[in-house]
Amino acid sequence: MRIDGWHIDGYGVFHDARVGDLPAGLTIVTGPNESGKTTLVHFLLGMLFGFPNRGAPNRHDPLQGGTYGGRLFVTDHRGRSCTIARGAARASLELTGPDGPLPDGELPVLLGGAGEALYRSVFAVQLADLGTLRALSEDEVRDRVFSAGVVGAGQSAQQALRALAEARDALYKPGGRGTGYRLNRLRAELVDARVARDEARRAARGLPALDREVAELEELAGDLERRGVALRSEEALVQAVLDLWPTWQRARQARVELERLDASRVTPEAARLVELAPVVRALTAELAMVRERRDRRPALAGRVAAHRSGLDAALAALGRADDDGWLDTQPASVEDAAALRRSAEPVVAAAAALEQARARARQLDDALDQERVELRAAGARFASPPLDADAAADRARDLHALVDVLRRREQAEQRLVDARAAAARAEELPRAALDAGAARAASPAPWLAAIVAVAALAALVVAVLAAAGGAPGAAVGAAVLAVGLAVVAVVLRRATRPASRPEVLVPAEGVLDEAVVAAEAARAAVAAELHPLLDRLGVAEPPPPGTVRVWVERAEEDSRRARQDALDRRAHAERVEAQHLAATGRRSRVDADVAAAQASLADTRRTWQTWLARRGLPVGLDAAGAAEYLADLERARQLRALLQEAQADLRRDDDADADFATRVRDAVERLGPAIGVSVPDDADVTAVASRLGDLVGEAEAARRREEAIRADLEARIREAHTAFAVAVGTAPDAVERARELLDEADPVSWRARLERLAVELAATTGERDEALRRHADAGRRRDELVSSADVPALELTVEDRTAQLAAAVRDWAALVQAHTVVEETLARYQRERQPRVVTRAAELFAAVTAGRYPRLEVRDREVVAVDEAGQEITAPALSQGAVEQLYLCMRVALAEAFAEVTPLPVLLDDCVVNADAERLPTLGAMIAAVAERHQVLVFTCHGWFVDELLAACPGAHLLRLPSSRRDVAAAARGR
């Protein structure tokens, strides 16, 4: 691969810098210091292998703008033009061939498999590589020069060998001794673990026998222990019996005394007394109450008599003397008194209302009487009009009177007829009809009203016929007409009623009969009036009508005046009559009120009597009487209650006394005659009871004394049993054995036995202790054996160490193999590749040194220069400039060797800075010679070296970088 050019978008001082058409041979990049030569070298390396991460050295972020990175134009080994484009990110790599994008994997192919490290080691020679040569030790110089020709097999191989050897030898170094080596340490631990395990296994075989020994000794010790326990138990038992003996003896004595006590028990009478002690104590406890009852009896009897007397009086007041039971039949009570008041109230109210109505009636009767007087006076005035005292006036009045009498005679005749007719219809027609009939009879023009009435009748007939004929509309119309005509007829009748006709008072009852009588009387009166009047007129018979008419015409004037007078009197009479009618109406209403009040009073009285009857109270009582009756009844009941209470108290006392006496007698009978007390009569009961109490007290005292003795004896026995239980325990065998011993009652033999047991126990204890000691010893030996014979744990240790040792051996074997591989590769490399490199380097070095050092030799991983005299000069012994030239020759030779397979551009960055002036031409010639076969890019700031290179290679491409940073970009862009 060779570089054809580049385009730097942004990198260090470069921005948009484009270079192209670089030759396959030599390219010289020159410029003063800090013009960007090294930056350009880093750019090229970065384009080929990737840029450093941000913040890393030699990153060269853009200073003049642009996007970090750029493109590199190359031609591959097959002559294809390719472009490598990169940015800051590793993923930004883009590889493009003539036919378009190429996969990233093509880049290693393009680079011939060389990585950055290899490229830097082989193809890129920088000032820094040479500069460090000066600071190195001689050995390091030797190594560096040697490695310069054996890249990968030099420094790196040596480092790898050293690291592998170090790791390998940390595990094991053949021939190495001591536990400093892990293999040896693990081996020793494994051996120890195996020894321990084997010993444990052997020991484990002895375990069964030792187990048996331990078991036998354990059994023996157990037997002896049990024997010792038995002896100690026996010893303890005998000792306990001995200790117990005094107590036991006292208990035995107590039993004897108890038996004796049982034999002399108390008498049956005393026993009965004790048995009946509770009964007797109860009786004596009641004595005080009995006496108290007896003391209060007279007062109680007095209360009974007083209450009896009071009750009798109360019953007598109620009319039921000596009839206590009657009170129970009277349900009335104080609550009934309240109800009584509530029930009597309506009666009182009704009576008051009646009285009020009667008073009002009386008041109205008086008013009516007054009205009647006035009415009668008015009637009288109307019936007897006053005569004018003037004679003329008398004549005129008489003529007028004659006319009037004659007219009234005629009217009286007609009124009589009407009255009689009305009387005939009176039983059927209302009073109004009577009036109407009377009115018709008195009407001066009845025909008009009659015609109208006939018309109304005809209309009515027509209505009936129309209804019957199925014409309801005509029927209704005719009916309405009939009603209207009837009304008109009535009005006409009223309108045509003569004003002079005297109004007749129509009484409410029997009025029509009276009218007939009155009419007859009126006719008689008129007749009576006529003759005197004729007499006064001086005529025997009534004059003829002409005369009369003259007289009448004359007298009409008088008559008009008289009529006017009559009208005035009639108006007065009508007012009086109206007042009388009103008074009569009010009187009638008052009568109704009186009747209602009477009915209400009757109802309430019936209710009251029913209420009384329902409560068994006398029906004739009024409210006050009933209240008083109930009060008497309540008083009687209270007295009876007090009487009954007193009687009950008396009976209770009697019963209690009787019961007490009965129980005293019963107790006496149950105790029998032996106690010397006879059955008492009522009077002696308390004394007998008191006596029984004394007897019982004596008996109980005797019993307590006996029980105290018995308790003491039994306590002694219990004490012995308790002591026995404490001393002997509850084990059946021990109890039985102790009882046997106690039954022997032989303390002397017990003490002898104790002595024998002590001797035997001491011997057994000694044997047991010896067995236990031997058992403990055997157990300890077994435990030691078991712990030392923990085969599984030791087996595990063996396996652990075995595994670790095997793993260490594997690791060691891998390290040995790795070391061997590297070492053999290095040997092969030195054998097959290094000679060619060294030979070529010798050619170059000879040319550079103008033949002063015609040969180079490799001596034990060291390159030595052989001068013309055949003297070998080691690298450190060469001048600084010669060493750098030798190093340069080695690198160039190596690059040429690599380039045979992987032809890559050679980058030489200020690599001749220390060269002598006389060697510059030869160095230039050497580089030019190399450039004939490979692309070489020389970066230098030395103009004289540029001149030398151009002289050696006139066709070289010269690329000048501007001197100042500011101009760099512009210059680069310009190019």
Partner 1 sequence: MLRFLHAADLHLDTPVSAVGGYPPAVAELLRDASLQAWDRLVETASARRVAFVLLAGDVYDGAERGLRAQRRFLAGLTRLSEEGIRSFVVHGNHDPVEEGWSAVARFPDLVRRFEPHEVGSEAFTVDGQPVVVHGISYAVRHTTENLAARFPPATDGAFHVGLLHANVGGPASGHADYAPCTLADLRRVGYDYWALGHVHRAQVLHRGDPWVVYPGNLQGRSPKPSERGPKGAVVVEVDGGRPRTPEPVALDVVRFEELAVSIGDHDVLSLLDELTTRAAPEAHDGRAVVVRARVEGAGPLHAELLSADRRRDVLAELRQRGAEATSPVWWDRLEWRTRPARDLDDLRRRNDFVADLLTTTEGGDEVWTGWIDALPHEVRRLLGDDCPDPADPDIREQAIRLALDHVLGADS
Which of residues 172 and 724 has its CB atom nearest to partner 1 in the complex?
A: 172
Q: Nearest approach, Cβ of 786 to partner 1 (angstroms)? A: 7
Closest approach, Cβ 757 to partner 1, in A, equals: 40
**Residue among 136, 287, 481, 814 that touches partner 1 (CB under 8 A):** 814
The three-state secondary structure class of 861 is coil
Q: Which residue lies nearer to partner 1 by CB, 42 or 493?
A: 42
Cα 509 to Cα 511: distance, rounded to the nearest angstrom:
5
Query: Among 361, 497, 385, which residue's Cα sits nearest to residue 440?
Result: 497
Q: Which of 52, 117, 45, 64 is nearest to 972 (CA)?
A: 64
User: Residues 322, 390, 824, 932: which binds partner 1 (CB under 8 A)?
Assistant: 824
Q: How far is the CB of 822 from partner 1 (least distance, A)?
A: 5
Within 204-223, the residues that bind partner 1 by CB under 8 A are 204-205, 207-208, 211
What 3-state class would DSSP assign to 813? helix
Return the number of the residue (169 or 684) whose C-beta is nearest partner 1: 169
> Cα 48 from chain centroid?
75
Among 23, 32, 112, 222, binds partner 1 (CB under 8 A): 112
Instruction: Answer yes or no: are the C-beta atoms of 850 and 922 closer than 8 Å.
Output: yes
> Which of 20, 65, 101, 113 lies at the binding interface for partner 1 (CB under 8 A)?
113
Residue from the set 190, 314, 344, 511 that interacts with partner 1 by CB under 8 A: 190
Site for partner 1 in 216-275 (CB under 8 A): none
Provide the residue count of the chain.
975
Q: Residue 231 or 808: which CB sits closer to partner 1? A: 808
Q: 3-class DSSP state for residue 385?
A: coil
DSSP string, 569-619: HHHHHHHHHHHHHHHHHHHHHHHHHHHHHHHHHHHHHHHHHHHHHHTT--T
CB of 932 to partner 1, least distance (A): 22
What is each CA distance from 916 to 239, 284, 561, 875, 922, in whole angstroms?
A: 128, 160, 199, 17, 10
Judged by CB under 8 A, the stretch of 36-44, 112-120, 403-411, 966-974 that binds partner 1 is 112-120
CB atoms within 10 A of CB 713: 21
Smallest gap from Cβ 153 to partner 1, in A, equals 4
Number of residues that bind partner 1 (CB under 8 A): 76
Closest separation in Å from C-beta 104 to partner 1: 12
Q: How far is the CB of 790 from partner 1 (least distance, A)?
A: 8
- Using the rule CB under 8 A, give the single segment among 133-141, 202-210, 237-245, 506-514 that binds partner 1: 202-210
Q: Can residue 650 be called a binding residue for partner 1 (CB under 8 A)? A: no
Looking at the Cβ atoms of 906 and 959, the one nearer to partner 1 is: 906
The pair of structure tokens assigned to 53 is: 């991460």
Smaller CB distance to partner 1: residue 296 or 828? 828
Q: Does 837 bind partner 1 (CB under 8 A)?
A: no
In terms of Cα–Cα distance, which of 513, 499, 615, 491 is closest to 568? 499
Residue 76 C-beta: closest distance to partner 1, Å: 14
Distance of closest approach, residue 150 Cβ to partner 1, in angstroms: 7
What does the per-residue mask of binding to partner 1 show for 884-923, with x meaning CB under 8 A?
--------------x--xx---------------------
Kindly identify the residues of this chain, within the stretch 668-697, that bind partner 1 according to CB under 8 A: none
Instruction: For residue 801, give both structure tokens.
Output: 């160490």
| DSSP annotation string for 478-526 | HHHHHHHHHHHHHHHHHHTS-TTSPPPP--SSSHHHHHHHHHHHHHHHH
Residue 530 near partner 1 by CB under 8 A: no
Token output for 668: 């006496």
- Closest contact distance (angstroms) between CB of 898 and partner 1 is 6
Report 144-173 residues binding partner 1 (CB under 8 A): 150-153, 155-157, 159-160, 163-164, 167, 172
Q: Is 93 in the site for partner 1 (CB under 8 A)?
A: no
Q: Using the rule CB under 8 A, is 1 a contact of partner 1?
A: no
Helices 138-148 and 155-171: angle between axes, nearest 10 degrees: 110
- Decide: is 723 part of the binding site for partner 1 (CB under 8 A): no
Task: Tell me which stretch binds partner 1 (CB under 8 A): 256-264, 471-479, 720-728, 827-835.
Answer: 827-835
Residues 942-961, interacting with partner 1 (CB under 8 A)? none
User: How far is Cα 560 from Cα 908, in angstroms, rounded to an integer?
Assistant: 185
Instruction: Output 163 or 723, the one with its CB closest to partner 1.
Output: 163
The reply on whether position 195 binds partner 1 by CB under 8 A is no
Spatial distance between the Cα atoms of 879 and 192, rounded to a whole number of angstroms: 62
- In terms of C-beta distances under 8 Å and separation of at least 24 residues, what long-range contacts does 690-694 make, across chains too? 690/284, 690/287, 692/280, 692/283, 692/284, 692/664, 692/667, 692/668, 693/280, 693/281, 693/283, 693/284, 693/287
What count of Cα atoms within 13 Å lies in the side-chain half-sphere of residue 685?
23
- Among 65, 98, 101, 108, the residue binding partner 1 under the rule CB under 8 A is 108
Residues facing 96 on adjacent strands: 83, 101
The answer to whether 600 touches 353, Cβ cutoff 8 Å, is yes
The pair of three-digit structure tokens given for residue 355, joined into one six-digit string: 């009285």
Stretch that binds partner 1, among 392-400, 425-433, 508-516, 814-822 (CB under 8 A): 814-822
Closer of 183 and 516 to partner 1 (Cβ)? 183
Q: Which region among 2-10, 106-114, 670-678, 691-699 touches partner 1 (by CB under 8 A)?
A: 106-114
Q: Which residue has the tokens 């030979």?
A: 839
Question: How far is the C-alpha of 835 from the C-alpha of 30, rounded, in Å?
Answer: 35
Site for partner 1 in 496-525 (CB under 8 A): none
Residues 782-811 that bind partner 1 (CB under 8 A): 786, 789-793, 795-796, 798-807, 809-811
Is residue 90 near partner 1 by the rule CB under 8 A?
no
Nearer residue to partner 1 within complex by CB, 201 or 494: 201
Q: Does 815 bind partner 1 (CB under 8 A)?
A: yes
Q: Give the integer Cα–Cα distance in Å for 520 and 760.
A: 180
Cα–Cα separations (whole angstroms), residue 317 to 310, 320, 632: 11, 8, 7
State the binding string over 747-786 for partner 1 (x if CB under 8 A, else -).
---------------------------------------x
Q: What is the CA radius of gyration of the chain?
A: 87
Closest approach, Cβ 198 to partner 1, in A, equals: 9
Q: How far is the CB of 832 from partner 1 (least distance, A)?
A: 8
**Minimum distance between the CB of residue 816 and partner 1, rounded to whole angstroms?**
4
- Supply the minimum distance, in Å, between the C-beta of residue 874 and partner 1: 24
Q: How far is the CB of 119 from partner 1 (least distance, A)?
A: 10
CB of 200: closest distance to partner 1 in angstroms? Answer: 9
CA torsion, points 248, 251, 252, 253, in degrees to nearest 10?
130
CA 453, 455, 456: angle at the middle one, nearest 5? 60
User: 290 near 685, Cβ under 8 Å?
Assistant: yes
Note whether 62 binds partner 1 by CB under 8 A: no
Say whether residue 858 binds partner 1 (CB under 8 A): no
Q: Rounded to 5 degrees, what are φ and ψ at 113? A: 80, -5
* Shortest Å distance, C-beta 837 to partner 1: 12
What backbone phi and psi angles, to 5 degrees, belong to 128?
-65, -35
Among 260, 828, 966, 975, binds partner 1 (CB under 8 A): 828
Q: How far is the CB of 196 from partner 1 (least distance, A)?
A: 13
Euclidean distance between CA atoms 347 and 597, whole angstroms: 11
Q: Is there binding between residue 115 and partner 1 (CB under 8 A)?
A: yes
